[in-house]
Amino acid sequence: MTKIDFDTMMKTGAGTLAGRYLRRFWQPVLLADDLKPGFAMPLKIMGDEFTLYRGEGGTPHAVAHRCAHRGAQLSVGFVEDDCIRCLYHGWKYDGAGNCVEQPAEHEHSFADKVKIKAYPVQEYLGMIFVYMGEGAVPELPRLPEMEADGVLDAYMYVRECNYFQNIENGVDEAHLPFTHRSSAFDVLNHDVPKVRGEITDYGVVQYGLRSNEAVRLTHFLMPNILTFVHPASDPVVTEWALYMSWRVPIDDAIHKSFVVELFTVAPEERAGFVARRRAGKAKTAELIPTAEIARQILAGKLRLRDVAHRPDIVNLQDHVAQTAQGVFADRDAECLGSSDHAVKLLRQLWMQDLSDLADGREPKRWVYPDRLRRPRGLNEDASAAEAAAIAQMAV
Ligand code: FES
Ligand SMILES: [Fe+2]
């Protein structure tokens, strides 16, 4: 059985083991609202560049970054119906990557012999997903909880460190009372939780057990999806918000997180809620960007407490904590403790899957349940007996 090292886990470029592994799953690559019909844009995911465009009828397509003729970047071309035409000499490609016109070749056209790379694309939950793997294309997993009635909001942020640091952070509840001091998480920060993890059919569940017997559950769906519920700051939200996030490398030194949240809001309150969120996002967009503030904090020019008023404070706190580990955290130099239990389990699952792939075995087939157990609010359905059982779990 091939032993997987941390370096292997962090590298996702074409042909790498972790890159081959992540490409076996549909990945979100762009927010649906960020691509209007008739527009195209260049994207980089896991080091691979490609063109994402939306046909005039609204269907999104992903094809190669460059034209097969003399290599012009296709995204600067013209979207025509469901095709994209190169800006340079007008070669035209359909969404499957077939060249369908070579206007300057007149009677010598060899378009039927030219094909560029194309990827399957689907739109779901306000995001555009692309399948970048080889062979048979799996179905895009549905997440029925996210399809429930409420207000759905998708957004994206970029973090300047290796994606795996953010993956690990998702099942690292012990960071809350420190990293997220003076934030919306303060409702949970009255003490430092005991952290336990458990392997499931979908990945890992993490229990964050607090001294008042409250238990917070965080679920991690293999290979790169985090989901939990959290207190929402707007008073019209009647339950804890449902959060789901995909950690997707741009390249090994930087990654995107695509987040979708479902808010339970009475129908008559929805328009106001959406307007407030929109206004909040617009206001945040006018501020010095999160990454720039994080750089100033890392350089000792600012402290997190100086920017605690910022609406992006939770993101900023995580950004600082994760980039403070370095762009590539040195896991060979760590001193892990019992609070890292869920992180250890998650690494173990990843290493097993990578090892299977390296040795030609089929990695485990993860099954996402239609519903995950989610106490909404503290201690809603976690009994004292359950809390005691979790506290006893072997680490
Ligand atoms: S480079 Fe695209 S048509 Fe010539
Ligand atoms: Fe965090």
Question: 68 C-alpha to center of ligand 1: Å?
Answer: 7
Look at residues 170, 226, 223, 217 and name the one whose alpha carbon lies nearest to residue 196.
217
Look at residues 120, 57, 375 and name the one whose alpha carbon lies nearest to residue 242.
375
Q: Does any ligand 1 atom lie closer than 6 A to the CB of residue 87?
A: no
Q: What is the pLDDT of residue 321?
A: 98
Q: What is the pLDDT of residue 85?
A: 98
Q: Does any ligand 1 atom lie closer than 6 A to the CB of residue 67?
A: yes
For residue 114, give the ligand nearest its CA.
1
Closest C-alpha residue for ligand 1 atom 4: 89
Q: Does any ligand 1 atom lie closer than 6 A to the CB of residue 91?
A: yes
Question: 53 C-alpha to center of ligand 1: Å?
Answer: 17
Tokens of 312: 């992006």
Q: Does any ligand 1 atom lie closer than 6 A to the CB of residue 88?
A: yes
Q: What is the pLDDT of residue 392?
A: 67
Question: 146 C-alpha to center of ligand 2: Å?
Answer: 21
Q: What is the pLDDT of residue 379?
A: 44
Q: Does any ligand 1 atom lie closer than 6 A to the CB of residue 64?
A: no
Q: What is the pLDDT of residue 383?
A: 54
- Sequential pLDDT tens for the chain (395 residues): 999 999 999 999 999 999 999 999 999 999 999 999 999 999 999 999 999 999 999 999 999 999 999 999 999 999 999 999 999 999 999 999 999 999 999 999 999 999 999 999 999 999 999 999 998 999 999 999 999 999 999 999 999 999 999 999 999 999 999 999 888 777 777 789 999 999 999 999 999 888 877 788 899 999 999 999 888 888 999 888 999 999 999 999 999 999 999 999 999 999 999 999 999 999 999 999 999 999 999 999 999 999 999 989 999 999 999 999 999 999 999 999 999 999 999 999 999 999 999 999 999 999 999 999 877 554 455 556 666 666 666 55
Q: Does any ligand 1 atom lie closer than 6 A to the CB of residue 302?
A: no
Q: Does any ligand 1 atom lie closer than 6 A to the CB of residue 72?
A: yes
Q: What is the pLDDT of residue 188?
A: 77
CB 249 within 8 A of CB 158: no
For residue 177, give the ligand nearest its CA.
2
Question: 74 C-alpha to center of ligand 1: Å?
Answer: 9
Q: What is the pLDDT of residue 391?
A: 65
Angle at 244 between CA 183 and CA 213, to 5 degrees: 60
Q: Does any ligand 1 atom lie closer than 6 A to the CB of residue 44?
A: no
What domains appear along the chain, each with residue ranges and CATH number? Answer: 28-130 (2.102.10.10), 144-392 (3.30.530.20)
Question: 298 C-alpha to center of ligand 2: Å?
Answer: 17
Q: Which amino acid, 159?
A: R
3-state helix, strand, coil in the chain (%, to 5): 30, 25, 40
Residue 211 burial by Cβ neighbours in a 10 Å radius (0-12, 13-18, 19+) = exposed
Closest C-alpha residue for ligand 1 atom 3: 89
Q: Does any ligand 1 atom lie closer than 6 A to the CB of residue 84?
A: no
pTM of the predicted model as reported, rounded to 2 decimal places: 0.94
Tokens of 54: 């939306």
Angle at 328 between CA 324 and CA 332, to 5 degrees: 100
